[in-house]
Amino acid sequence: MSTRAQQYDAQVLRREQLSPHLVRLTLGVDGFVSTGVPDEWVGLVVPGQFQVRYYTVRSCGSGELVLDVVVHEVGLVTEWASRDVVGDSVVVTEPKGSFALPADAEWLMLVGDLTAMPAMARISETVDLPTRIWAEVRDDLAGYVPDAAHVTWIDAPAEGTSRLADVVAELDWPEGPGYFWMAGESAPMRAIRKHLMRDRKLPASAYDVMGYWRAASARQPRAVDPGPIYREGKAQGLSDEEIWARYDSAPEEHQARS
Ligand SMILES: Cc1cc2nc3c(=O)[nH]c(=O)nc-3n(C[C@H](O)[C@H](O)[C@H](O)COP(=O)(O)OP(=O)(O)OC[C@H]3O[C@@H](n4cnc5c(N)ncnc54)[C@H](O)[C@@H]3O)c2cc1C
Protein backbone atom coordinates (compact mmCIF):
# COMPACT_ATOMS: atom_id res chain seq x y z
CA MET A 1 0.00 0.00 0.00
CA SER A 2 1.27 3.49 -0.76
CA THR A 3 2.11 5.96 1.98
CA ARG A 4 -0.84 8.14 0.90
CA ALA A 5 -3.99 7.24 2.81
CA GLN A 6 -6.72 5.32 0.98
CA GLN A 7 -4.75 4.70 -2.19
CA TYR A 8 -2.99 1.61 -3.41
CA ASP A 9 -0.07 1.30 -5.77
CA ALA A 10 -0.76 -1.49 -8.22
CA GLN A 11 0.82 -3.11 -11.24
CA VAL A 12 -0.85 -4.55 -14.32
CA LEU A 13 -0.16 -8.29 -14.26
CA ARG A 14 -2.34 -9.42 -17.16
CA ARG A 15 -4.38 -7.93 -20.01
CA GLU A 16 -7.05 -9.96 -21.77
CA GLN A 17 -9.34 -8.85 -24.62
CA LEU A 18 -12.75 -10.21 -23.59
CA SER A 19 -14.60 -8.76 -26.59
CA PRO A 20 -13.94 -5.99 -29.14
CA HIS A 21 -14.79 -3.27 -26.60
CA LEU A 22 -14.03 -4.90 -23.26
CA VAL A 23 -10.55 -5.45 -21.83
CA ARG A 24 -9.84 -7.32 -18.61
CA LEU A 25 -6.97 -5.98 -16.56
CA THR A 26 -5.67 -7.95 -13.61
CA LEU A 27 -3.75 -5.77 -11.18
CA GLY A 28 -1.39 -6.92 -8.48
CA VAL A 29 -2.12 -4.93 -5.35
CA ASP A 30 -1.11 -5.51 -1.74
CA GLY A 31 -3.45 -4.93 1.16
CA PHE A 32 -6.58 -4.16 -0.85
CA VAL A 33 -9.70 -4.75 1.26
CA SER A 34 -13.03 -5.20 -0.50
CA THR A 35 -16.16 -3.58 0.93
CA GLY A 36 -18.08 -6.70 -0.10
CA VAL A 37 -20.69 -4.48 -1.78
CA PRO A 38 -21.19 -6.10 -5.20
CA ASP A 39 -21.15 -2.91 -7.28
CA GLU A 40 -18.05 -1.54 -5.51
CA TRP A 41 -15.72 0.58 -7.60
CA VAL A 42 -12.28 2.09 -7.39
CA GLY A 43 -10.73 5.21 -8.86
CA LEU A 44 -7.97 4.41 -11.34
CA VAL A 45 -5.08 6.72 -12.20
CA VAL A 46 -3.01 5.51 -15.14
CA PRO A 47 0.68 6.33 -15.76
CA GLY A 48 1.54 9.95 -16.50
CA GLN A 49 -1.96 11.19 -15.59
CA PHE A 50 -3.53 12.81 -12.58
CA GLN A 51 -7.21 12.51 -13.54
CA VAL A 52 -9.20 9.66 -12.02
CA ARG A 53 -11.60 7.36 -13.86
CA TYR A 54 -13.86 4.93 -12.01
CA TYR A 55 -14.04 1.16 -12.53
CA THR A 56 -16.03 -1.61 -10.91
CA VAL A 57 -14.15 -4.24 -8.99
CA ARG A 58 -15.10 -7.27 -11.08
CA SER A 59 -13.37 -9.52 -8.56
CA CYS A 60 -10.53 -9.42 -6.08
CA GLY A 61 -8.55 -11.63 -3.73
CA SER A 62 -5.09 -13.08 -3.14
CA GLY A 63 -3.40 -9.78 -3.92
CA GLU A 64 -5.17 -9.38 -7.27
CA LEU A 65 -7.83 -6.95 -8.45
CA VAL A 66 -9.72 -7.47 -11.70
CA LEU A 67 -11.17 -4.51 -13.65
CA ASP A 68 -13.08 -4.88 -16.93
CA VAL A 69 -12.49 -1.72 -18.91
CA VAL A 70 -14.61 -0.52 -21.82
CA VAL A 71 -12.54 0.85 -24.68
CA HIS A 72 -14.70 3.32 -26.55
CA GLU A 73 -13.73 5.83 -29.24
CA VAL A 74 -11.44 8.22 -27.36
CA GLY A 75 -10.59 8.60 -23.72
CA LEU A 76 -7.79 8.83 -21.27
CA VAL A 77 -8.08 5.30 -19.88
CA THR A 78 -9.46 4.02 -23.21
CA GLU A 79 -6.27 4.96 -25.01
CA TRP A 80 -4.05 3.57 -22.27
CA ALA A 81 -5.96 0.28 -21.96
CA SER A 82 -5.95 -0.23 -25.74
CA ARG A 83 -2.20 -0.80 -25.60
CA ASP A 84 -0.09 -3.55 -24.08
CA VAL A 85 -0.08 -2.19 -20.53
CA VAL A 86 1.28 -5.24 -18.73
CA GLY A 87 3.92 -4.12 -16.26
CA ASP A 88 2.56 -0.56 -15.99
CA SER A 89 2.18 0.96 -12.52
CA VAL A 90 -1.17 2.51 -11.64
CA VAL A 91 -2.87 3.86 -8.54
CA VAL A 92 -6.27 2.71 -7.30
CA THR A 93 -8.33 4.40 -4.63
CA GLU A 94 -10.12 2.63 -1.82
CA PRO A 95 -13.35 0.92 -2.93
CA LYS A 96 -16.84 2.29 -2.42
CA GLY A 97 -20.20 0.66 -3.16
CA SER A 98 -23.77 1.78 -3.64
CA PHE A 99 -25.88 -1.38 -4.04
CA ALA A 100 -28.17 -1.67 -1.00
CA LEU A 101 -30.57 -4.59 -1.18
CA PRO A 102 -33.66 -4.16 1.03
CA ALA A 103 -34.07 -7.05 3.48
CA ASP A 104 -37.48 -7.96 2.05
CA ALA A 105 -36.44 -7.99 -1.62
CA GLU A 106 -37.76 -11.00 -3.51
CA TRP A 107 -36.33 -10.20 -6.95
CA LEU A 108 -33.67 -8.16 -8.67
CA MET A 109 -33.77 -6.16 -11.91
CA LEU A 110 -30.52 -4.86 -13.40
CA VAL A 111 -30.33 -2.51 -16.37
CA GLY A 112 -27.23 -1.07 -17.98
CA ASP A 113 -24.87 -0.54 -20.86
CA LEU A 114 -21.43 -2.04 -21.40
CA THR A 115 -19.88 -0.02 -18.55
CA ALA A 116 -22.44 -1.58 -16.19
CA MET A 117 -21.71 -5.17 -17.26
CA PRO A 118 -18.96 -5.76 -14.67
CA ALA A 119 -21.26 -4.64 -11.86
CA MET A 120 -24.27 -6.53 -13.22
CA ALA A 121 -22.18 -9.70 -13.51
CA ARG A 122 -20.78 -9.40 -10.00
CA ILE A 123 -24.17 -8.54 -8.50
CA SER A 124 -25.83 -11.52 -10.14
CA GLU A 125 -23.00 -13.83 -9.02
CA THR A 126 -23.36 -12.59 -5.46
CA VAL A 127 -27.07 -12.12 -4.83
CA ASP A 128 -29.20 -15.22 -4.56
CA LEU A 129 -32.52 -13.87 -5.88
CA PRO A 130 -34.38 -14.33 -9.18
CA THR A 131 -32.54 -11.85 -11.40
CA ARG A 132 -33.40 -10.26 -14.73
CA ILE A 133 -30.86 -8.20 -16.67
CA TRP A 134 -31.37 -5.80 -19.59
CA ALA A 135 -27.98 -5.18 -21.20
CA GLU A 136 -27.49 -2.66 -23.99
CA VAL A 137 -24.23 -3.80 -25.58
CA ARG A 138 -22.76 -4.12 -29.04
CA ASP A 139 -20.37 -6.97 -28.22
CA ASP A 140 -21.27 -10.63 -27.88
CA LEU A 141 -20.93 -11.16 -24.13
CA ALA A 142 -22.93 -14.37 -23.77
CA GLY A 143 -21.40 -16.25 -20.85
CA TYR A 144 -20.16 -13.08 -19.14
CA VAL A 145 -22.96 -13.25 -16.56
CA PRO A 146 -24.00 -16.39 -14.65
CA ASP A 147 -26.48 -18.68 -16.44
CA ALA A 148 -29.04 -18.29 -13.66
CA ALA A 149 -29.63 -14.62 -14.53
CA HIS A 150 -32.09 -14.08 -17.35
CA VAL A 151 -30.51 -11.60 -19.79
CA THR A 152 -32.31 -9.56 -22.44
CA TRP A 153 -29.69 -8.29 -24.88
CA ILE A 154 -30.51 -4.92 -26.41
CA ASP A 155 -28.61 -3.97 -29.51
CA ALA A 156 -26.73 -0.78 -28.69
CA PRO A 157 -27.17 1.99 -31.24
CA ALA A 158 -24.26 4.27 -32.16
CA GLU A 159 -21.85 5.12 -29.34
CA GLY A 160 -23.21 7.85 -27.12
CA THR A 161 -26.90 7.09 -27.68
CA SER A 162 -29.06 4.78 -25.61
CA ARG A 163 -32.54 3.31 -25.64
CA LEU A 164 -32.46 2.35 -21.98
CA ALA A 165 -34.89 5.06 -20.86
CA ASP A 166 -37.55 3.60 -23.22
CA VAL A 167 -36.68 0.08 -22.09
CA VAL A 168 -37.23 1.03 -18.44
CA ALA A 169 -40.52 2.78 -19.22
CA GLU A 170 -41.83 -0.43 -20.83
CA LEU A 171 -40.64 -2.99 -18.27
CA ASP A 172 -42.98 -5.62 -16.88
CA TRP A 173 -42.45 -5.46 -13.15
CA PRO A 174 -42.60 -8.59 -10.95
CA GLU A 175 -45.06 -8.77 -8.08
CA GLY A 176 -43.90 -8.07 -4.52
CA PRO A 177 -40.97 -6.12 -3.17
CA GLY A 178 -37.65 -6.15 -5.02
CA TYR A 179 -34.67 -4.05 -6.01
CA PHE A 180 -33.95 -2.17 -9.23
CA TRP A 181 -30.33 -1.26 -10.06
CA MET A 182 -29.26 0.66 -13.15
CA ALA A 183 -26.14 2.36 -14.53
CA GLY A 184 -25.12 3.88 -17.84
CA GLU A 185 -24.86 7.22 -19.60
CA SER A 186 -25.89 10.05 -17.28
CA ALA A 187 -28.30 12.04 -19.46
CA PRO A 188 -31.45 9.87 -19.14
CA MET A 189 -30.96 9.03 -15.47
CA ARG A 190 -32.94 11.94 -14.07
CA ALA A 191 -36.00 11.03 -16.16
CA ILE A 192 -35.64 7.39 -15.17
CA ARG A 193 -35.51 8.22 -11.45
CA LYS A 194 -38.61 10.37 -11.91
CA HIS A 195 -40.39 7.51 -13.66
CA LEU A 196 -39.53 5.08 -10.84
CA MET A 197 -40.64 7.53 -8.17
CA ARG A 198 -43.76 9.04 -9.77
CA ASP A 199 -45.10 6.35 -12.10
CA ARG A 200 -43.89 3.19 -10.37
CA LYS A 201 -44.18 4.81 -6.92
CA LEU A 202 -41.09 3.01 -5.69
CA PRO A 203 -39.60 4.10 -2.37
CA ALA A 204 -36.03 5.44 -2.73
CA SER A 205 -34.73 2.35 -0.93
CA ALA A 206 -36.03 0.10 -3.75
CA TYR A 207 -33.83 1.46 -6.52
CA ASP A 208 -30.36 2.69 -7.31
CA VAL A 209 -29.83 4.56 -10.61
CA MET A 210 -26.34 5.83 -11.43
CA GLY A 211 -24.81 7.86 -14.22
CA TYR A 212 -21.51 6.11 -14.98
CA TRP A 213 -20.32 8.41 -17.76
CA ARG A 214 -21.26 11.54 -19.68
CA ALA A 215 -21.67 11.74 -23.43
CA ALA A 216 -19.49 14.40 -25.06
CA SER A 217 -20.33 18.01 -24.39
CA ALA A 218 -18.34 21.24 -24.26
CA ARG A 219 -16.72 20.43 -20.94
CA GLN A 220 -15.53 16.85 -20.80
CA PRO A 221 -12.53 15.31 -19.18
CA ARG A 222 -9.91 15.42 -21.91
CA ALA A 223 -8.33 12.37 -23.46
CA VAL A 224 -4.87 13.51 -22.43
CA ASP A 225 -3.37 15.43 -19.59
CA PRO A 226 -3.69 19.17 -20.23
CA GLY A 227 -1.04 19.83 -17.53
CA PRO A 228 2.03 20.11 -19.79
CA ILE A 229 0.30 22.48 -22.24
CA TYR A 230 -0.96 24.55 -19.33
CA ARG A 231 2.49 24.81 -17.75
CA GLU A 232 4.10 25.62 -21.12
CA GLY A 233 1.51 28.35 -21.77
CA LYS A 234 2.02 29.84 -18.32
CA ALA A 235 5.78 29.91 -18.86
CA GLN A 236 5.15 31.82 -22.09
CA GLY A 237 2.96 34.33 -20.25
CA LEU A 238 -0.32 33.33 -21.94
CA SER A 239 -3.67 33.92 -20.23
CA ASP A 240 -5.74 30.88 -19.13
CA GLU A 241 -8.15 31.52 -21.99
CA GLU A 242 -5.33 31.54 -24.54
CA ILE A 243 -3.92 28.33 -23.07
CA TRP A 244 -7.25 26.47 -23.23
CA ALA A 245 -7.86 27.77 -26.76
CA ARG A 246 -4.45 26.40 -27.73
CA TYR A 247 -5.24 23.09 -26.05
CA ASP A 248 -8.67 22.81 -27.69
CA SER A 249 -7.28 23.51 -31.15
CA ALA A 250 -4.22 21.27 -30.77
CA PRO A 251 -4.47 17.95 -32.63
CA GLU A 252 -4.51 14.89 -30.34
CA GLU A 253 -1.05 13.94 -31.59
CA HIS A 254 0.36 17.29 -30.50
CA GLN A 255 -1.46 17.16 -27.18
CA ALA A 256 -0.14 13.69 -26.43
CA ARG A 257 3.45 14.73 -27.20
CA SER A 258 3.33 17.90 -25.12
C1 LIG B 1 -19.14 3.94 -10.13
C2 LIG B 1 -18.67 3.76 -11.54
C3 LIG B 1 -18.31 2.50 -11.99
C4 LIG B 1 -17.86 2.32 -13.30
N5 LIG B 1 -17.47 1.07 -13.71
C6 LIG B 1 -16.96 0.92 -14.96
C7 LIG B 1 -16.44 -0.36 -15.38
O8 LIG B 1 -16.41 -1.33 -14.64
N9 LIG B 1 -15.95 -0.44 -16.65
C10 LIG B 1 -15.93 0.65 -17.50
O11 LIG B 1 -15.44 0.54 -18.62
N12 LIG B 1 -16.43 1.84 -17.12
C13 LIG B 1 -16.92 2.00 -15.87
N14 LIG B 1 -17.38 3.23 -15.49
C15 LIG B 1 -17.43 4.31 -16.50
C16 LIG B 1 -16.08 4.96 -16.75
O17 LIG B 1 -15.59 5.54 -15.54
C18 LIG B 1 -16.26 6.07 -17.83
O19 LIG B 1 -16.75 5.52 -19.02
C20 LIG B 1 -14.97 6.84 -18.07
O21 LIG B 1 -15.30 8.14 -18.54
C22 LIG B 1 -14.05 6.20 -19.08
O23 LIG B 1 -12.85 6.89 -19.08
P24 LIG B 1 -11.99 7.19 -20.36
O25 LIG B 1 -10.76 7.80 -19.81
O26 LIG B 1 -11.85 5.97 -21.22
O27 LIG B 1 -12.81 8.27 -21.20
P28 LIG B 1 -12.92 9.83 -20.84
O29 LIG B 1 -11.59 10.48 -21.03
O30 LIG B 1 -13.55 9.95 -19.50
O31 LIG B 1 -13.95 10.36 -21.92
C32 LIG B 1 -13.54 10.66 -23.26
C33 LIG B 1 -14.77 10.75 -24.14
O34 LIG B 1 -15.39 9.49 -24.22
C35 LIG B 1 -16.77 9.56 -23.84
N36 LIG B 1 -17.05 8.35 -23.04
C37 LIG B 1 -16.68 8.12 -21.78
N38 LIG B 1 -17.08 6.90 -21.40
C39 LIG B 1 -17.73 6.37 -22.46
C40 LIG B 1 -18.38 5.15 -22.69
N41 LIG B 1 -18.44 4.22 -21.74
N42 LIG B 1 -18.91 4.92 -23.90
C43 LIG B 1 -18.86 5.85 -24.86
N44 LIG B 1 -18.27 7.07 -24.72
C45 LIG B 1 -17.72 7.31 -23.52
C46 LIG B 1 -16.90 10.84 -23.03
O47 LIG B 1 -18.16 11.41 -23.22
C48 LIG B 1 -15.83 11.72 -23.59
O49 LIG B 1 -16.32 12.46 -24.66
C50 LIG B 1 -17.83 3.43 -14.18
C51 LIG B 1 -18.18 4.69 -13.71
C52 LIG B 1 -18.61 4.86 -12.42
C53 LIG B 1 -18.98 6.23 -11.94
Q: What is the CATH number of the domain that holds 75?
A: 2.40.30.10
Is residue 102, in this structure, part of any structural domain at all?
Answer: no
Whether residue 190 sits in one domain with residue 149: yes
For residue 117, the ligand 1 atom closest to its alpha carbon is 8
Whether residue 209 sits in one domain with residue 136: yes
Please name the residue whose Cα sits nearest to atom 38 of ligand 1: 213
160 lines ligand 1 (CB under 6 A): yes
Tell which one of 60, 212, 252 to mutate to probe ligand 1, the residue whose CB is within 8 A of the most ligand atoms: 212
Please name the residue whose Cα sits nearest to atom 4 of ligand 1: 55
Q: Identify the pLDDT of residue 179.
A: 98
Please give the average per-residue pLDDT across 94-123, as a whole number.
97
Whether residue 134 sits in one domain with residue 79: no
Mean pLDDT score of the chain, rounded to an integer?
87
Whether residue 136 sits in one domain with residue 72: no
Q: Which CATH number does the domain housing residue 176 bear?
A: 3.40.50.80
Q: Identify the pLDDT of residue 103.
A: 96
Q: Identify the pLDDT of residue 233.
A: 76
| Rounded distance from Cα 1 to ligand 1 centre (Å) | 26
Is residue 237, in this structure, part of any structural domain at all?
Answer: yes
Whether residue 204 sits in one domain with residue 173: yes
Q: Identify the pLDDT of residue 257.
A: 30
Whether residue 170 sits in one domain with residue 122: yes
Model confidence at 1, pLDDT cuts 50, 70, 90, reads very low
Helices 227-235 and 240-249, packing angle to 10 deg: 130
29 lines ligand 1 (CB under 6 A): no
Please name the residue whose Cα sits nearest to atom 21 of ligand 1: 213
Q: Identify the pLDDT of residue 230.
A: 66
**Residue 245 in this model has a pLDDT that exceeds 80:** no
This prediction has a pTM of 0.85
Q: Identify the pLDDT of residue 157.
A: 74
Cα separation, 249 vs 255, in Å, equals: 9
Tell which one of 56, 139, 213 to mutate to probe ligand 1, the residue whose CB is within 8 A of the most ligand atoms: 213
Least confidently predicted of 90-104, 126-140, 241-255: 241-255
Is residue 1, in this structure, part of any structural domain at all?
Answer: no
Q: Identify the pLDDT of residue 255.
A: 37
Whether residue 174 sits in one domain with residue 86: no
Tell me which residue range forms the domain holding 184.
108-213
Q: Are 174 and 108 in contact (CB under 8 A)?
A: no
Percent of the chain with pLDDT over 70: 84
Model confidence at 226, pLDDT cuts 50, 70, 90, reads low
Whether residue 168 sits in one domain with residue 142: yes
Sign of the dihedral through C-alpha 171, 166, 187, 153: positive
What is the tally of structural domains in the chain? 3
The tens digit of pLDDT for each residue in 145-154 reads 988 889 999 9
41 lines ligand 1 (CB under 6 A): yes
Tell which one of 17, 18, 115 to mutate to probe ligand 1, the residue whose CB is within 8 A of the most ligand atoms: 115
The tens digit of pLDDT for each residue in 175-199 reads 999 999 999 999 888 889 999 999 9
Please give the average per-residue pLDDT across 89-102, as a whole number.
96
| Rounded distance from Cα 175 to ligand 1 centre (Å) | 34
**Residue 251 in this model has a pLDDT that exceeds 60:** no
DSSP 178-237: -EEEEEEESTTHHHHHHIIIIIS---GGGEEEEEEE----SS---SS--HHHHHHHHHTT
